[in-house]
Structure 1
Amino acid sequence: MSSLQTLIFYATPEHNCSYLEAKKATTMFVDPKASVDKELYSKLSVLGFRRSGNHYYRPHCNHCSACVPVRVPVNQFKPSRSQKRILKKNIGLEISITPPEFCQKHYDLYEKYIIERHSDGDMYPPSEEQYRSFLVEGNPSTFFVEFKYKGELIGVSVIDELNDGLSAVYTYFDPDISDRSLGVYSVLWQIEECKRRSLDHIYLGYWIKSCRKMEYKTLYKPVEFLISNKWTLQEPNK
Protein backbone atom coordinates (compact mmCIF):
# COMPACT_ATOMS: atom_id res chain seq x y z
CA MET A 1 0.00 0.00 0.00
CA SER A 2 1.30 3.45 -0.93
CA SER A 3 1.95 6.23 1.60
CA LEU A 4 2.56 9.95 1.34
CA GLN A 5 6.28 9.28 1.68
CA THR A 6 6.38 6.79 -1.20
CA LEU A 7 4.03 8.52 -3.65
CA ILE A 8 5.33 9.70 -7.00
CA PHE A 9 3.76 12.81 -8.54
CA TYR A 10 3.59 13.94 -12.14
CA ALA A 11 2.90 17.40 -13.55
CA THR A 12 1.13 17.96 -16.85
CA PRO A 13 2.42 20.33 -19.53
CA GLU A 14 0.82 23.77 -19.48
CA HIS A 15 -2.67 23.85 -20.95
CA ASN A 16 -5.49 26.36 -21.24
CA CYS A 17 -7.15 27.03 -17.89
CA SER A 18 -10.74 25.82 -17.70
CA TYR A 19 -11.82 28.67 -15.44
CA LEU A 20 -9.75 31.78 -16.18
CA GLU A 21 -9.50 33.14 -19.70
CA ALA A 22 -6.05 33.77 -21.13
CA LYS A 23 -4.48 31.77 -18.29
CA LYS A 24 -2.36 28.63 -18.53
CA ALA A 25 -2.67 25.82 -16.03
CA THR A 26 -0.57 22.92 -14.80
CA THR A 27 -1.99 19.98 -12.86
CA MET A 28 -0.15 17.67 -10.46
CA PHE A 29 -1.29 14.04 -10.47
CA VAL A 30 -0.57 11.17 -8.14
CA ASP A 31 1.07 8.27 -9.97
CA PRO A 32 -1.94 6.33 -11.38
CA LYS A 33 -0.18 3.07 -10.47
CA ALA A 34 -0.23 4.01 -6.76
CA SER A 35 -2.57 2.14 -4.45
CA VAL A 36 -4.67 4.82 -2.74
CA ASP A 37 -6.79 3.60 0.16
CA LYS A 38 -9.14 5.64 2.35
CA GLU A 39 -6.34 6.57 4.77
CA LEU A 40 -4.08 7.94 2.04
CA TYR A 41 -6.96 9.59 0.20
CA SER A 42 -7.91 11.39 3.42
CA LYS A 43 -4.36 12.73 3.83
CA LEU A 44 -4.29 13.87 0.21
CA SER A 45 -7.60 15.70 0.67
CA VAL A 46 -6.23 17.59 3.66
CA LEU A 47 -3.41 18.70 1.33
CA GLY A 48 -5.88 19.97 -1.26
CA PHE A 49 -6.08 17.03 -3.67
CA ARG A 50 -9.28 16.00 -5.44
CA ARG A 51 -10.38 12.79 -7.16
CA SER A 52 -11.70 12.29 -10.69
CA GLY A 53 -12.23 8.63 -11.46
CA ASN A 54 -8.95 6.88 -10.66
CA HIS A 55 -6.95 10.11 -10.75
CA TYR A 56 -5.94 12.21 -7.74
CA TYR A 57 -4.86 15.73 -8.59
CA ARG A 58 -4.40 19.33 -7.53
CA PRO A 59 -3.51 22.56 -9.37
CA HIS A 60 0.22 23.20 -9.68
CA CYS A 61 0.39 26.38 -11.74
CA ASN A 62 3.35 28.67 -12.20
CA HIS A 63 2.74 32.25 -11.05
CA CYS A 64 -0.91 31.59 -10.12
CA SER A 65 -2.59 30.42 -6.92
CA ALA A 66 -6.18 31.35 -7.79
CA CYS A 67 -7.54 27.82 -7.18
CA VAL A 68 -8.06 27.52 -3.43
CA PRO A 69 -9.28 24.27 -1.81
CA VAL A 70 -12.30 24.86 0.44
CA ARG A 71 -14.14 22.84 3.05
CA VAL A 72 -16.95 23.48 5.52
CA PRO A 73 -16.56 22.64 9.24
CA VAL A 74 -20.01 21.11 9.53
CA ASN A 75 -20.46 21.49 13.28
CA GLN A 76 -20.06 25.25 12.93
CA PHE A 77 -22.27 25.57 9.86
CA LYS A 78 -25.40 27.72 10.11
CA PRO A 79 -27.78 27.78 7.13
CA SER A 80 -28.75 31.14 5.66
CA ARG A 81 -32.37 32.17 5.18
CA SER A 82 -32.34 31.10 1.56
CA GLN A 83 -30.76 27.76 2.47
CA LYS A 84 -33.47 27.20 5.08
CA ARG A 85 -36.09 27.85 2.40
CA ILE A 86 -34.43 25.30 0.13
CA LEU A 87 -34.40 22.73 2.93
CA LYS A 88 -38.09 23.34 3.54
CA LYS A 89 -38.91 23.15 -0.18
CA ASN A 90 -37.34 19.70 -0.44
CA ILE A 91 -38.99 18.12 2.58
CA GLY A 92 -40.52 14.88 1.40
CA LEU A 93 -37.93 13.97 -1.21
CA GLU A 94 -37.12 10.26 -1.26
CA ILE A 95 -33.39 9.87 -0.56
CA SER A 96 -31.44 6.63 -0.76
CA ILE A 97 -27.77 5.63 -0.73
CA THR A 98 -26.64 3.21 -3.43
CA PRO A 99 -23.33 1.57 -4.47
CA PRO A 100 -21.24 3.33 -7.16
CA GLU A 101 -22.50 1.15 -10.01
CA PHE A 102 -23.55 2.04 -13.54
CA CYS A 103 -27.28 2.60 -13.81
CA GLN A 104 -28.93 3.57 -17.09
CA LYS A 105 -31.35 5.96 -15.36
CA HIS A 106 -28.41 7.67 -13.66
CA TYR A 107 -26.60 8.06 -16.94
CA ASP A 108 -29.67 9.33 -18.81
CA LEU A 109 -30.10 12.06 -16.19
CA TYR A 110 -26.38 12.90 -16.32
CA GLU A 111 -26.49 13.15 -20.12
CA LYS A 112 -29.46 15.52 -20.00
CA TYR A 113 -27.78 17.63 -17.32
CA ILE A 114 -24.50 17.99 -19.20
CA ILE A 115 -26.18 18.79 -22.52
CA GLU A 116 -28.48 21.44 -21.03
CA ARG A 117 -26.24 22.93 -18.34
CA HIS A 118 -22.62 22.38 -19.39
CA SER A 119 -22.44 22.26 -23.17
CA ASP A 120 -19.51 24.69 -22.96
CA GLY A 121 -17.52 22.56 -20.51
CA ASP A 122 -14.89 19.83 -20.61
CA MET A 123 -17.45 17.05 -20.10
CA TYR A 124 -19.41 17.86 -23.25
CA PRO A 125 -20.40 15.87 -25.18
CA PRO A 126 -21.25 13.22 -22.59
CA SER A 127 -20.73 9.52 -23.25
CA GLU A 128 -21.17 6.34 -21.24
CA GLU A 129 -17.42 5.72 -21.32
CA GLN A 130 -16.67 9.20 -19.98
CA TYR A 131 -19.37 8.86 -17.30
CA ARG A 132 -18.01 5.52 -16.12
CA SER A 133 -14.41 6.72 -15.94
CA PHE A 134 -15.39 9.97 -14.19
CA LEU A 135 -17.96 8.80 -11.63
CA VAL A 136 -18.41 5.03 -11.55
CA GLU A 137 -14.77 3.94 -11.47
CA GLY A 138 -12.87 5.20 -8.46
CA ASN A 139 -12.41 4.76 -4.76
CA PRO A 140 -13.88 2.00 -2.55
CA SER A 141 -15.24 4.67 -0.18
CA THR A 142 -17.49 6.16 -2.88
CA PHE A 143 -21.28 6.05 -2.69
CA PHE A 144 -24.15 7.51 -4.71
CA VAL A 145 -27.13 9.35 -3.27
CA GLU A 146 -30.39 9.29 -5.22
CA PHE A 147 -32.95 12.06 -4.88
CA LYS A 148 -36.45 11.11 -6.02
CA TYR A 149 -39.77 12.93 -6.19
CA LYS A 150 -42.91 10.82 -6.41
CA GLY A 151 -40.75 7.86 -7.39
CA GLU A 152 -38.97 9.68 -10.24
CA LEU A 153 -35.22 10.17 -10.14
CA ILE A 154 -34.45 13.91 -10.17
CA GLY A 155 -30.88 14.07 -8.88
CA VAL A 156 -27.74 12.09 -8.02
CA SER A 157 -24.78 13.02 -5.83
CA VAL A 158 -21.46 11.19 -5.98
CA ILE A 159 -19.66 11.32 -2.65
CA ASP A 160 -16.45 9.94 -1.14
CA GLU A 161 -16.15 9.19 2.56
CA LEU A 162 -12.86 10.26 4.16
CA ASN A 163 -11.53 9.78 7.66
CA ASP A 164 -12.46 13.31 8.65
CA GLY A 165 -15.33 14.14 6.32
CA LEU A 166 -17.11 13.73 3.02
CA SER A 167 -15.79 14.85 -0.35
CA ALA A 168 -18.48 16.18 -2.71
CA VAL A 169 -17.30 14.72 -6.01
CA TYR A 170 -20.18 15.69 -8.29
CA THR A 171 -23.91 16.34 -8.31
CA TYR A 172 -26.21 16.33 -11.32
CA PHE A 173 -29.97 16.79 -11.52
CA ASP A 174 -32.92 17.30 -13.82
CA PRO A 175 -32.49 20.81 -15.24
CA ASP A 176 -36.28 21.01 -15.71
CA ILE A 177 -36.69 21.11 -11.91
CA SER A 178 -34.46 24.09 -11.20
CA ASP A 179 -36.92 25.58 -8.68
CA ARG A 180 -35.87 22.98 -6.10
CA SER A 181 -32.22 24.16 -6.16
CA LEU A 182 -31.04 20.57 -5.94
CA GLY A 183 -27.37 21.54 -6.23
CA VAL A 184 -27.65 23.59 -3.04
CA TYR A 185 -29.87 21.02 -1.36
CA SER A 186 -27.36 18.26 -2.07
CA VAL A 187 -24.60 20.14 -0.22
CA LEU A 188 -26.95 20.84 2.70
CA TRP A 189 -27.86 17.14 2.81
CA GLN A 190 -24.19 16.18 2.78
CA ILE A 191 -23.48 18.56 5.66
CA GLU A 192 -26.14 16.80 7.71
CA GLU A 193 -24.84 13.40 6.59
CA CYS A 194 -21.40 14.39 7.90
CA LYS A 195 -22.96 15.05 11.29
CA ARG A 196 -24.83 11.74 11.22
CA ARG A 197 -21.53 9.96 10.57
CA SER A 198 -19.65 12.02 13.20
CA LEU A 199 -17.41 13.55 10.53
CA ASP A 200 -16.05 17.07 10.75
CA HIS A 201 -15.82 18.47 7.22
CA ILE A 202 -17.30 18.47 3.77
CA TYR A 203 -14.72 19.11 1.05
CA LEU A 204 -16.13 21.17 -1.84
CA GLY A 205 -13.16 21.27 -4.19
CA TYR A 206 -11.58 24.45 -5.54
CA TRP A 207 -12.80 28.01 -5.29
CA ILE A 208 -11.65 30.89 -7.49
CA LYS A 209 -12.56 34.34 -6.29
CA SER A 210 -13.03 35.78 -9.78
CA CYS A 211 -14.99 32.81 -11.16
CA ARG A 212 -18.76 33.20 -10.87
CA LYS A 213 -19.33 29.46 -11.35
CA MET A 214 -17.56 28.85 -8.05
CA GLU A 215 -19.18 31.56 -5.95
CA TYR A 216 -21.64 29.11 -4.43
CA LYS A 217 -18.88 27.30 -2.55
CA THR A 218 -18.43 30.17 -0.09
CA LEU A 219 -22.16 30.45 0.68
CA TYR A 220 -21.95 27.59 3.21
CA LYS A 221 -20.60 29.49 6.18
CA PRO A 222 -18.22 29.30 7.82
CA VAL A 223 -15.89 28.03 5.11
CA GLU A 224 -12.22 27.15 5.47
CA PHE A 225 -9.58 27.89 2.83
CA LEU A 226 -6.30 26.02 2.34
CA ILE A 227 -3.64 28.74 2.12
CA SER A 228 0.08 27.99 2.35
CA ASN A 229 -0.80 24.43 3.39
CA LYS A 230 -2.87 25.63 6.37
CA TRP A 231 -6.65 25.61 6.69
CA THR A 232 -7.98 29.02 7.73
CA LEU A 233 -11.31 30.86 7.96
CA GLN A 234 -9.70 33.96 6.48
CA GLU A 235 -10.69 34.44 2.83
CA PRO A 236 -7.70 35.00 0.51
CA ASN A 237 -6.89 38.57 -0.55
CA LYS A 238 -8.82 40.14 2.29
Structure 2
Amino acid sequence: MGNTPAREGEDLRLFHTGLHECGYWPERQARDLVLDPRDPRLPDWYPLALGWGFRRSGDIVYRPHCASCRACTPVRIPVDAFAPNRSQRKNLRRNADVLMRICPAERTEEHLELYRRYLSTRHAGGGMDGHGGTEFDQFLVGRWSRTRFLEFRTDTPEHRLLAVAVTDMTPDALSAVYTFYDPAEADRGLGTYAILRQLQWAADEGRAHLYLGYWIAGHAKMDYKRRFRPLEAFDGRQWLPFPDEIP
Protein backbone atom coordinates (compact mmCIF):
# COMPACT_ATOMS: atom_id res chain seq x y z
CA MET A 1 0.00 0.00 0.00
CA GLY A 2 1.16 3.53 -0.70
CA ASN A 3 1.95 5.85 2.21
CA THR A 4 1.85 9.33 0.67
CA PRO A 5 -0.97 11.37 2.24
CA ALA A 6 -3.64 12.61 -0.13
CA ARG A 7 -3.75 16.29 -1.00
CA GLU A 8 -6.90 18.38 -1.08
CA GLY A 9 -8.82 17.75 -4.29
CA GLU A 10 -7.30 14.33 -4.94
CA ASP A 11 -9.53 11.30 -5.29
CA LEU A 12 -9.54 8.89 -2.40
CA ARG A 13 -7.32 5.97 -3.30
CA LEU A 14 -8.31 2.29 -3.25
CA PHE A 15 -5.97 -0.61 -2.59
CA HIS A 16 -6.23 -4.36 -3.02
CA THR A 17 -5.12 -6.47 -0.08
CA GLY A 18 -3.12 -9.62 -0.66
CA LEU A 19 -4.82 -12.99 -0.56
CA HIS A 20 -5.81 -14.14 2.91
CA GLU A 21 -7.92 -16.86 4.48
CA CYS A 22 -11.63 -16.10 4.18
CA GLY A 23 -13.22 -15.34 7.54
CA TYR A 24 -16.43 -17.11 6.51
CA TRP A 25 -15.21 -20.04 4.39
CA PRO A 26 -11.79 -21.13 5.75
CA GLU A 27 -11.11 -23.30 2.70
CA ARG A 28 -11.34 -20.24 0.42
CA GLN A 29 -8.91 -17.41 -0.28
CA ALA A 30 -10.24 -13.86 0.01
CA ARG A 31 -9.16 -10.42 -1.09
CA ASP A 32 -10.51 -6.96 -0.18
CA LEU A 33 -10.76 -3.47 -1.58
CA VAL A 34 -9.62 -0.98 1.08
CA LEU A 35 -9.98 2.80 1.19
CA ASP A 36 -6.68 4.51 1.96
CA PRO A 37 -6.56 4.34 5.79
CA ARG A 38 -4.07 7.22 5.95
CA ASP A 39 -6.34 9.70 4.18
CA PRO A 40 -7.53 12.31 6.70
CA ARG A 41 -10.79 12.68 4.73
CA LEU A 42 -11.84 9.12 5.55
CA PRO A 43 -14.50 10.21 8.10
CA ASP A 44 -16.14 12.33 5.38
CA TRP A 45 -16.01 9.52 2.82
CA TYR A 46 -17.32 6.85 5.17
CA PRO A 47 -21.07 7.61 4.76
CA LEU A 48 -20.65 7.42 0.98
CA ALA A 49 -18.61 4.23 1.29
CA LEU A 50 -21.43 2.52 3.19
CA GLY A 51 -23.65 3.29 0.22
CA TRP A 52 -21.06 1.66 -2.05
CA GLY A 53 -21.17 -1.59 -0.07
CA PHE A 54 -18.13 -0.99 2.14
CA ARG A 55 -17.85 -1.78 5.84
CA ARG A 56 -15.67 -0.68 8.76
CA SER A 57 -13.37 -2.89 10.84
CA GLY A 58 -11.35 -0.82 13.29
CA ASP A 59 -9.86 2.01 11.23
CA ILE A 60 -10.14 0.07 7.96
CA VAL A 61 -13.00 0.58 5.48
CA TYR A 62 -13.16 -2.41 3.16
CA ARG A 63 -15.28 -4.41 0.73
CA PRO A 64 -14.72 -8.04 -0.30
CA HIS A 65 -13.33 -8.23 -3.83
CA CYS A 66 -12.55 -11.88 -4.48
CA ALA A 67 -11.69 -13.13 -7.96
CA SER A 68 -13.81 -16.28 -7.95
CA CYS A 69 -16.47 -15.64 -5.30
CA ARG A 70 -19.32 -13.13 -5.01
CA ALA A 71 -21.05 -14.63 -1.99
CA CYS A 72 -20.81 -11.48 0.19
CA THR A 73 -23.78 -9.22 -0.56
CA PRO A 74 -24.08 -5.82 1.19
CA VAL A 75 -27.54 -5.43 2.73
CA ARG A 76 -29.42 -2.63 4.48
CA ILE A 77 -32.88 -2.03 5.91
CA PRO A 78 -34.93 1.04 4.83
CA VAL A 79 -35.96 2.22 8.27
CA ASP A 80 -39.29 3.91 7.48
CA ALA A 81 -40.59 0.88 5.56
CA PHE A 82 -39.66 -1.72 8.17
CA ALA A 83 -42.33 -3.43 10.26
CA PRO A 84 -41.46 -6.34 12.59
CA ASN A 85 -42.94 -9.69 11.64
CA ARG A 86 -44.65 -12.03 14.08
CA SER A 87 -41.42 -13.68 15.22
CA GLN A 88 -39.72 -10.31 15.75
CA ARG A 89 -42.67 -9.02 17.77
CA LYS A 90 -42.36 -12.10 19.98
CA ASN A 91 -38.67 -11.30 20.38
CA LEU A 92 -39.50 -7.79 21.58
CA ARG A 93 -41.97 -9.18 24.12
CA ARG A 94 -39.48 -11.81 25.29
CA ASN A 95 -36.97 -9.05 26.01
CA ALA A 96 -39.36 -6.54 27.53
CA ASP A 97 -37.32 -6.72 30.75
CA VAL A 98 -34.12 -5.53 29.02
CA LEU A 99 -32.78 -2.01 29.50
CA MET A 100 -30.80 -0.28 26.72
CA ARG A 101 -28.19 2.42 27.19
CA ILE A 102 -26.19 4.25 24.49
CA CYS A 103 -22.58 4.64 25.64
CA PRO A 104 -19.28 5.96 24.27
CA ALA A 105 -17.28 3.37 22.35
CA GLU A 106 -14.80 2.74 25.14
CA ARG A 107 -13.81 -0.75 26.22
CA THR A 108 -14.34 -1.74 29.84
CA GLU A 109 -13.32 -4.95 31.60
CA GLU A 110 -17.00 -5.89 31.67
CA HIS A 111 -17.24 -5.50 27.88
CA LEU A 112 -14.06 -7.48 27.29
CA GLU A 113 -15.10 -10.34 29.57
CA LEU A 114 -18.44 -10.68 27.78
CA TYR A 115 -16.76 -10.43 24.35
CA ARG A 116 -14.27 -13.17 25.16
CA ARG A 117 -16.98 -15.42 26.55
CA TYR A 118 -19.06 -14.89 23.41
CA LEU A 119 -16.15 -15.69 21.09
CA SER A 120 -15.11 -18.80 23.02
CA THR A 121 -18.64 -20.19 22.66
CA ARG A 122 -19.85 -18.89 19.32
CA HIS A 123 -16.57 -18.82 17.37
CA ALA A 124 -14.41 -21.45 19.05
CA GLY A 125 -11.44 -22.33 16.86
CA GLY A 126 -12.22 -19.54 14.41
CA GLY A 127 -9.12 -17.49 15.14
CA MET A 128 -10.85 -14.82 17.22
CA ASP A 129 -11.29 -16.76 20.46
CA GLY A 130 -7.86 -15.65 21.69
CA HIS A 131 -8.69 -11.95 21.40
CA GLY A 132 -7.75 -9.64 24.26
CA GLY A 133 -8.08 -5.93 24.84
CA THR A 134 -5.78 -4.91 21.98
CA GLU A 135 -7.68 -6.99 19.44
CA PHE A 136 -11.01 -5.75 20.81
CA ASP A 137 -9.96 -2.15 20.18
CA GLN A 138 -8.44 -2.89 16.77
CA PHE A 139 -11.59 -4.64 15.60
CA LEU A 140 -14.40 -2.58 17.13
CA VAL A 141 -13.17 0.87 18.19
CA GLY A 142 -12.30 3.20 15.31
CA ARG A 143 -10.09 6.19 16.05
CA TRP A 144 -11.97 8.38 13.57
CA SER A 145 -15.48 6.86 13.40
CA ARG A 146 -18.50 8.15 15.29
CA THR A 147 -19.27 4.92 17.14
CA ARG A 148 -21.45 4.05 20.11
CA PHE A 149 -21.87 0.93 22.23
CA LEU A 150 -25.47 -0.06 22.84
CA GLU A 151 -25.50 -1.87 26.17
CA PHE A 152 -28.35 -4.23 26.96
CA ARG A 153 -28.78 -5.01 30.65
CA THR A 154 -31.22 -6.83 32.91
CA ASP A 155 -33.83 -4.71 34.64
CA THR A 156 -32.66 -5.96 38.02
CA PRO A 157 -30.67 -4.34 40.85
CA GLU A 158 -27.37 -5.72 39.50
CA HIS A 159 -28.09 -4.56 35.91
CA ARG A 160 -26.18 -7.53 34.51
CA LEU A 161 -24.71 -6.95 31.04
CA LEU A 162 -26.43 -9.14 28.44
CA ALA A 163 -25.17 -7.79 25.11
CA VAL A 164 -23.31 -4.98 23.37
CA ALA A 165 -24.15 -3.78 19.85
CA VAL A 166 -21.31 -1.76 18.31
CA THR A 167 -22.97 0.84 16.08
CA ASP A 168 -21.58 3.52 13.77
CA MET A 169 -23.50 6.75 13.30
CA THR A 170 -23.59 8.78 10.09
CA PRO A 171 -25.90 11.69 9.24
CA ASP A 172 -28.38 9.50 7.34
CA ALA A 173 -27.79 5.99 8.65
CA LEU A 174 -26.65 3.63 11.36
CA SER A 175 -24.31 0.74 10.64
CA ALA A 176 -24.44 -2.41 12.77
CA VAL A 177 -20.74 -3.20 13.11
CA TYR A 178 -20.83 -6.17 15.52
CA THR A 179 -22.92 -7.57 18.34
CA PHE A 180 -21.75 -9.87 21.11
CA TYR A 181 -23.88 -11.29 23.90
CA ASP A 182 -23.99 -13.65 26.86
CA PRO A 183 -24.04 -17.17 25.37
CA ALA A 184 -26.01 -18.38 28.39
CA GLU A 185 -28.85 -16.10 27.23
CA ALA A 186 -29.05 -17.46 23.68
CA ASP A 187 -32.77 -18.22 24.06
CA ARG A 188 -33.50 -14.50 24.20
CA GLY A 189 -32.45 -13.99 20.56
CA LEU A 190 -30.28 -11.02 21.54
CA GLY A 191 -28.74 -10.63 18.07
CA THR A 192 -32.19 -10.10 16.58
CA TYR A 193 -33.19 -7.91 19.50
CA ALA A 194 -30.15 -5.67 18.98
CA ILE A 195 -31.12 -5.07 15.34
CA LEU A 196 -34.71 -4.27 16.31
CA ARG A 197 -33.52 -1.71 18.85
CA GLN A 198 -31.04 -0.21 16.38
CA LEU A 199 -33.92 0.17 13.93
CA GLN A 200 -35.98 1.94 16.57
CA TRP A 201 -33.05 4.22 17.38
CA ALA A 202 -32.62 5.05 13.68
CA ALA A 203 -36.35 5.75 13.33
CA ASP A 204 -36.38 8.00 16.38
CA GLU A 205 -33.57 10.11 14.91
CA GLY A 206 -34.87 10.17 11.33
CA ARG A 207 -32.11 8.09 9.79
CA ALA A 208 -32.96 6.44 6.48
CA HIS A 209 -31.09 3.12 6.70
CA LEU A 210 -29.59 0.54 9.01
CA TYR A 211 -26.65 -1.19 7.32
CA LEU A 212 -26.20 -4.84 8.30
CA GLY A 213 -22.93 -5.61 6.56
CA TYR A 214 -22.88 -8.70 4.37
CA TRP A 215 -25.42 -11.41 3.79
CA ILE A 216 -23.57 -14.48 2.60
CA ALA A 217 -25.33 -17.00 0.42
CA GLY A 218 -25.25 -20.47 1.95
CA HIS A 219 -23.76 -19.35 5.28
CA ALA A 220 -26.03 -20.33 8.18
CA LYS A 221 -24.69 -17.69 10.60
CA MET A 222 -25.52 -14.87 8.16
CA ASP A 223 -28.94 -16.11 7.07
CA TYR A 224 -30.79 -14.21 9.84
CA LYS A 225 -30.28 -10.93 7.99
CA ARG A 226 -32.78 -11.78 5.25
CA ARG A 227 -35.56 -12.10 7.84
CA PHE A 228 -35.71 -8.31 8.18
CA ARG A 229 -38.07 -7.00 5.51
CA PRO A 230 -38.05 -4.99 3.43
CA LEU A 231 -34.34 -5.52 2.82
CA GLU A 232 -32.14 -4.01 0.12
CA ALA A 233 -29.07 -5.57 -1.50
CA PHE A 234 -26.24 -3.83 -3.36
CA ASP A 235 -25.37 -5.41 -6.72
CA GLY A 236 -22.20 -3.39 -7.26
CA ARG A 237 -24.02 -0.51 -8.94
CA GLN A 238 -27.28 0.10 -7.12
CA TRP A 239 -29.43 -0.99 -4.19
CA LEU A 240 -32.26 -3.33 -5.17
CA PRO A 241 -35.00 -5.15 -3.22
CA PHE A 242 -33.69 -8.36 -1.74
CA PRO A 243 -35.41 -11.33 -3.44
CA ASP A 244 -38.16 -13.15 -1.56
CA GLU A 245 -36.87 -16.51 -2.75
CA ILE A 246 -33.22 -17.52 -2.64
CA PRO A 247 -32.11 -19.86 -5.45
**TM-score, L = length of structure 2:** 0.90
CA distance in 2, matches of 1:154, 1:41: 30
Q: Is structure 2 residue 199 aligned with structure 1 residue 191?
A: yes
Q: Is structure 2 residue 233 aligned with structure 1 residue 228?
A: no
Q: Is structure 2 residue 68 aligned with structure 1 residue 59?
A: no
Match among 156, 166, 172 for residue 164 of structure 2:
156
Q: 1:191 to 1:49 in 2, by over 3 A?
A: same
CA distance in 2, matches of 1:154, 1:18: 25
CA distance in 1, matches of 2:46, 2:142: 15
Q: Which residue of 1 aligns with 2:98?
A: 93
CA distance in 2, matches of 1:142, 1:42: 13
Q: Which residue of 2 aligns with 1:113?
A: 118
Q: Is structure 2 residue 186 aligned with structure 1 residue 178?
A: yes
Match among 203, 211, 220 for residue 219 of structure 2:
211
CA distance in 2, matches of 1:237, 1:13: 31
CA distance in 2, matches of 1:109, 1:63: 36
Higher alpha-carbon deviation: 33-42 or 46-55: 33-42
CA contact (8 A) 2:32 2:62 kept: yes
Higher alpha-carbon deviation: 4-13 or 195-204: 4-13
Q: 1:140 to 1:16 in 2, by over 3 A?
A: closer
SS of 2:101's equivalent in the other structure is: strand
Post-superposition offset of 1:197 = 0.8
CA distance in 2, matches of 1:87, 1:208: 26
Higher alpha-carbon deviation: 39-48 or 135-144: 135-144
Higher alpha-carbon deviation: 156-165 or 19-28: 19-28
**TM-score, L = length of structure 1:** 0.93
Q: Which residue of 1 aligns with 2:85?
A: 80
One-letter amino acid of the structure 2 residue matched with residue 226 of structure 1: F
CA distance in 2, matches of 1:104, 1:231: 39
Count of residue pairs the alignment pairs up: 238
- Where does structure 1 lack aligned partners over 5 or more consecutive residues? none
SS of 1:169's equivalent in the other structure is: strand
Post-superposition offset of 1:138 = 3.5
- Where does structure 2 lack aligned partners over 5 or more consecutive residues? 1-5
SS of 2:162's equivalent in the other structure is: strand
SS of 1:193's equivalent in the other structure is: helix
Q: 1:5 to 1:123 in 2, by over 3 A?
A: farther
CA contact (8 A) 1:156 1:173 kept: yes
CA contact (8 A) 1:2 1:35 kept: no
Post-superposition offset of 1:107 = 0.7
Post-superposition offset of 1:65 = 1.6
CA deviations on 1:204-237 (whole Å, 9 max, x unpaired) are 0011111111101111011100013200004397
Q: 1:163 to 1:172 in 2, by over 3 A?
A: same
CA distance in 2, matches of 1:61, 1:4: 30
CA RMSD of aligned residues (A): 2.0
Q: Which residue of 1 aligns with 2:209?
A: 201
Post-superposition offset of 1:31 = 1.5
One-letter amino acid of the structure 1 residue matched with residue 75 of structure 2: V
Match among 165, 173, 176 for residue 168 of structure 1:
176
Post-superposition offset of 1:41 = 0.7
CA distance in 2, matches of 1:166, 1:138: 17
Percent identity over paired residues: 37
SS of 2:148's equivalent in the other structure is: strand
